[in-house]
Amino acid sequence: MRQYAGNRVGLAVVGAVLMLVGAYVWLRADDRLGGLSPRAKVLPEQTARLVAEQQWTLWAAALGLMLLGLVALRWLLLCLGWGRQGVRSGTGTAMLCVGLKDVEGLSRTGVRVVGDGDHLRIAITCAPSADVGAMVGKLDKEIVGRIRREVRDDDTGTVVRIHVRR
């Protein structure tokens, strides 16, 4: 299965940048940076004058940073699995992959047990070139029933979601 390397790399880069900025601010406030006086200006004179004349720019910057922080928090919570329902079923996912092994163009598959085991969610993502008709036929005739019997029982409700990428 595909690893979410992009999220991990992105979070690592954002975390490293925030850590460096925080270290700079701490060192600057504690007067530990050699060569800079504690009264040295952070902004150039022209920029400081512009900000002093038009105070709405500081409010706009604060609002932008707050929105950026909320987006980063949402990203982190989604990466940690917050908001996902159910528990992954490795057995069900393996059975799904084995059943669809001869279908070309699959990129992601997954089986989740939702609630108290009262239903399953099967998710499949495939390329536009994949034979969706053959895939649905296999799922309907044999694969979903096998996954139901193996993971729970035959009476378990199942929702199958097929997403075709562009």
CB burial string 118-152: b at 16+ within 10 A, e below: ebbbbbbbbeeebeeeebeebbeeebbeebbeebb
User: What percent of the chain has pLDDT above 70?
Assistant: 95
Distances from the Cα of 49 to the Cαs of 25, 44, 53, 55, in angstroms? 22, 9, 6, 10
Same domain assignment for residues 52 and 100: no
CA separation for the pair 43, 84 (Å, rounded): 44
- With cut-offs at 50, 70 and 90, classify the pLDDT of residue 8: confident
75 lies in the same domain as 96: no
Domain-ending residue, one of 26, 46, 79: 79
Last residue of a domain, one of 29, 63, 79: 79
43-87, pLDDT tens digit by residue?
778 888 888 898 898 889 889 989 988 988 887 787 777 767 778
75 and 92 within one domain: no
Residue 112 maps to which CATH number?
3.30.300.20
Give residue 22's domain range.
5-79
Residue 61 sits in the same domain as residue 108 = no
From 61, 79, 97, the end of a domain falls on 79
pLDDT of 38 higher than 80: no
Both 98 and 128 in one domain: the answer is yes
| Least confidently predicted of 26-40, 65-79, 117-131 | 26-40
pLDDT of residue 16 exceeding 80, the answer is: yes
Are 115 and 147 in a shared domain? yes
Question: pLDDT value at position 4?
Answer: 65
Give the DSSP H/E element, type plus range, for residue 54: none
Same domain as 97, residue 70 = no
Handedness of CA 50, 55, 61, 64 (dihedral sign): negative
**Structural domain count of the chain:** 2
pTM of the model: 0.54
The DSSP secondary structure of 128-148, one letter per residue, reads: TTS-HHHHHHHIIIIIHHHHH
Burial tier of 97 (Cβ tally within 10 Å: 0-12, 13-18, 19+) = middle
pLDDT at position 2, please? 46
